[in-house]
Amino acid sequence: MTRMLVTGGAGFIGANFVHFWAAHRPDDTIVVLDALTYAGNRANLAGTDVEFIHGDIRDTALVETLLAGRNIDTIVHFAAESHVDRSLHGPSAFVDTNVIGTLSMLNAARAVWLAGDGKPHRFHHVSTDEVYGSLGADDPAFSETTAYAPNSPYSASKAASDHLVRAWHHSYGLAVTTSNCSNNYGPFQFPEKLIPLFLINALHGRPLPIYGDGMQIRDWLHVEDHCRGIAAVLDRGRIGEVYNIGGGAELPNITVIDTLCAAVDAAFAADPALVLRFPGAPAAKGVATASLKTYVTDRPGHDRRYAIDETKARTELGYAPTRTFEQGFADTLAWYLGNEPWWRAIMDGSYRTWVDTNYAGR
Ligand code: NAD
Ligand code: TYD
């Protein structure tokens, strides 16, 4: 039985992973360590019986106490500052959390797991395809051997953390694996990222701010498929190896946005109750949601294209995404429509203040 420490387990992907793991491995023990930053939300863990520790990954003594005291044998390290736009406004927090925080986790794992004769263990690090930089239209997709070329403070900090994880394996023998995944979407995603932000804006009749020409390309990965991929790495991944995990859905932003607009229109047409719940939505007045599309100044240094070559994960681990983007998006829309209190509480809180300060007029 695994005794697992999940860092960042109150965030979007971490919480989905906790639900996924608890459903598939009910006999395992899960401890969540999360600082509850603006992105962390205890409500994301409702219905689980994990032990929740409100603390910071940079507190190495705390992490050592948890690893030793709870007899943890597996770390799945999600905790991070994760939003590119925020990293452009305040890069220091990204170095503090993503680099210094990962260093702290590695130091604690080394101190506890490699002391004396050592004990069987695994440190799994969750990273991003953004470390590989930006692709041209005809470039081959990112593989695990693509040279790192991060372009934003966020991706630079994640790249640094990946290098630390690699070095702790080669220098000290820590049993690590790393996964670099593409853009996730699904339940519990904080409404600053493209899909939940645009969905909620559409329901309120607010503009949908499309950066630049909207032709940037991302590979979209439903978060449950990502969780399945991490589980495959934990089960079958080779120690010291890196695995790219993608969703097999390389799409220009404008296609994602048009899909979203059409799906919102269809949902209102199919369910008259939505008209009463969201009277500010264009769809409630018979106007196309697409009328909210607004082209705004591009993000500085905006990466043009990400694409994942997941041959290694498919052949070595048997990983394959199970949802098409259309299925995954329909599930996600249904989740946000069915969980209004979840996002309403966030939108009424500090997040709106931050958006109003930094994105006035968007
Ligand atoms: P998120 O921002 O939704 O959640 C991050 C969580 O980490 C929050 O619960 C927050 O409270 C916690 N946290 C932040 N700083 C902390 C600290 N110092 N100590 C303890 N906890 C802290 O992020 P996410 O989207 O769930 O991303 C999870 C991981 O996956 C990150 O490492 C991110 O880089 C990576 N990733 C995300 C995506 C994506 O599309 N969201 C894509 C690729 C990789
Ligand atoms: P985002 O969800 O921030 O993820 P990432 O920057 O990590 O890829 O953005 C996804 C894409 O959507 C990215 O190309 C930026 C674009 N985008 C917009 O056009 N408008 C927005 O308001 C946001 C948040 C993102």
| DSSP labels, 80-144 | S---HHHHHH-HHHHIIIIIIHHHHHHHHHHHHHSSTT----EEEEEEEGGGG----TTSPPB-T
Integer Cα distance of 3 and 17 in angstroms: 15
| Chain segment 325-347, per-residue pLDDT in tens | 999 999 999 999 999 999 999 98
Closest ligand 1 atom to the C-alpha of 57? 19
Output the ligand 2 site: residues, CB below 6 A.
84, 183, 193-194, 197, 209-211, 216, 218, 253
Question: Whose atoms come closest to the Cα of 257: which ligand?
Answer: 2
Q: Which of 154, 243, 306, 319 is catalytic?
A: 154
Integer Cα distance of 151 and 132 in angstroms: 9
340 catalytic residue (yes or no): no
Q: Which of 34, 73, 81, 129 is catalytic?
A: 129
Look at residue 33 in the predicted model and tell me its pLDDT.
98
> Is 40 close to ligand 1, i.e. is its CB under 6 Å away?
yes
pLDDT < 70 regions, the chain = 350-362
| DSSP labels, 9-34 | TTSHHHHHHHHHHHHH-TTSEEEEEE
Give the distance (Å) from ligand 1 centre to CA of residue 77. 9
Mutate to test the pocket of ligand 1, among 6, 7, 12, 96 (most ligand atoms within 8 A of CB): 12
Look at residue 349 in the predicted model and tell me its pLDDT.
75
> What domains sit in the chain, N to C, each tagged with a CATH number?
3-188+222-248+306-323 (3.40.50.720)
Q: Which of 130, 162, 192, 224 is catalytic?
A: 130
Give the distance (Å) from ligand 1 centre to CA of residue 158. 11
Nearest to 38 by CA among 362, 361, 359, 345: 345
Angle at 165 between CA 247 and CA 306, to 5 degrees: 30
Nearest to 199 by CA among 268, 100, 273: 268
130 catalytic residue (yes or no): yes
Look at residue 362 in the predicted model and tell me its pLDDT.
46
Nearest to 39 by CA among 8, 85, 76: 8
Look at residue 117 in the predicted model and tell me its pLDDT.
87
154 catalytic residue (yes or no): yes
| Chain segment 88-136, per-residue pLDDT in tens | 999 999 999 999 999 999 999 999 999 988 899 999 999 999 999 999 9
Residues whose CB is less than 8 angstroms from the CB of residue 342 and which lie 6 or more positions away in sequence, other chains included: 43, 188
